[in-house]
Amino acid sequence: MRKWIRLGLMMAVVSLWIGCSRQESRRGLSGFADPADELVLQTDWFAQPEYAGFYQALAAGIYEAHGLKVTILEGGPNADPMKRLALKRAHFINARSDDAIVAVARGMPIRFVGVTLQHNPQAILSHEANAIRRFEDLDGKRVMVDVGAPWIAYLERKYGIEMQLMPHNFGLNHFLSDPEFVMQCFLTNEPYYVRQQGAQPYVLPMWESGFDAYRGILVHEEFILNYPDVVRRFVKATHEGWQAYLYGDYSPAHKIIAERNPMMTDDFMDFIRKSLFEWGIVSGKENDPALVGKVDESRLEGQIAILHELGLIEKKIDIQEVFAF
């Protein structure tokens, strides 16, 4: 039976800091802005509904209700949120759980403190007429990918295949001009544009291969040691933002997203929101509000084992070294 646990904060090492005075904590850390003044969240992509929990919490006053003043900085193809976190230029970042595991295994002082998406919405995109319906069908195919992504080695090893890799250029021109073309995508995004151009997409979710990463919230380990209550409130408020976006009035999030990203039309944002439900990306396949922000511990253990088997981490690490829940 799968063991579900609500994401909270259980940092055993926090006990080492009990003797520190409140005054010392409030002075903050070198390089960190005082969280009483402002909290900075750095996302890994432009504003869009896959990050709606953050924007809903900001626009609907949920962060403010939890006593938090939050600024959201958008990312993009050249963004490096992990580096910004390591340099203490952001209090929180958004990233995948597998990235967090690899970073900690390589000595980066970060912790994954909250799940936002139950599944990373990455998928294999092909044309319906020449659909990639099984991962085995990728053998010998030219595939436009984020070269170096761990799922590539995973698929090739698990299915005994070899792909011809083409670096991702974050565009659709190749795909639209070649009915045999295959590429990685966000199943909440590229299929919309493909249909807009009159083509019929087929998506194969990456998680169906067994490579099933969460997306969530990461912090510097020094920040969680000094400000555990701030981290707890931020994670809770973000989860409340997701519940409000999915099961309430989602207009506050869409309004601020559209203001920050002109490509986000009402129709496009509606497509993304419906896709979040269709694929169970935030609240599971049952679309249960109670599953927002929850994590399956055995799944995390499986991710660590996969990354170790692929040689991406030298040794298996304990869950508590990466995940603060």
Cβ proximity of 242 and 188 under 8 Å: no
**260 pairs with which residues across the strands?**
none
Which of 29-33, 78-82, 144-148, 207-211 has the least mean pLDDT? 29-33
Give the count of beta carbons closer than 10 Å to the beta carbon of residue 290: 12
Backbone angles phi, psi at 36, to 5 degrees: -70, -25
* pLDDT over 70 at 38, yes or no: yes
Token couple for 201: 């997409």
Residue 31 pLDDT level (bands cut at 50, 70, 90): low
- Using DSSP's 3-state secondary structure scheme, residue 72 falls into strand
Q: Answer yes or no: same fold for 4-116+213-322 and 122-209.
A: yes
- Rounded to whole angstroms, the Cα distance separating 117 from 143 reads 25
Task: Write the pLDDT tens digit of every residue in 228-264.
Answer: 999 999 999 999 999 999 999 999 999 999 999 999 9
In the chain, which ranges are continuous DSSP H helix? 22-26, 52-59, 62-65, 81-86, 97-105, 150-159, 173-177, 190-196, 221-226, 228-247, 251-260, 266-278, 297-309, 319-322
- Rounded to whole angstroms, the Cα distance separating 47 from 172 reads 19
Cβ proximity of 98 and 213 under 8 Å: yes
Cβ proximity of 203 and 163 under 8 Å: no
- Rounded to whole angstroms, the Cα distance separating 185 from 84 reads 25
Query: Is the pTM of the predicted complex or chain greater than 0.95?
Result: no
Which architecture does CATH list for 4-116+213-322? Answer: 3-Layer(aba) Sandwich (3.40)
Residue 28 pLDDT level (bands cut at 50, 70, 90): low
- Rounded to whole angstroms, the Cα distance separating 218 from 288 reads 24
Percent of the chain whose pLDDT exceeds 90: 86
The domain spans of the chain are 4-116+213-322, 122-209
* pLDDT over 50 at 112, yes or no: yes
Task: Write the pLDDT tens digit of every residue in 113-151.
Answer: 999 999 999 999 999 999 999 999 999 999 999 999 999
Q: Which fold has domain 122-209?
A: D-Maltodextrin-Binding Protein; domain 2 (3.40.190)
- Rounded to whole angstroms, the Cα distance separating 193 from 199 reads 9
Cβ proximity of 325 and 11 under 8 Å: no
The closest of 73, 121, 94, 80 to 260, measured between CA atoms, is 73
Task: Write the pLDDT tens digit of every residue in 88-99.
Answer: 999 999 999 999
To 10 degrees, the CA torsion angle through 163, 208, 54, 221? -80
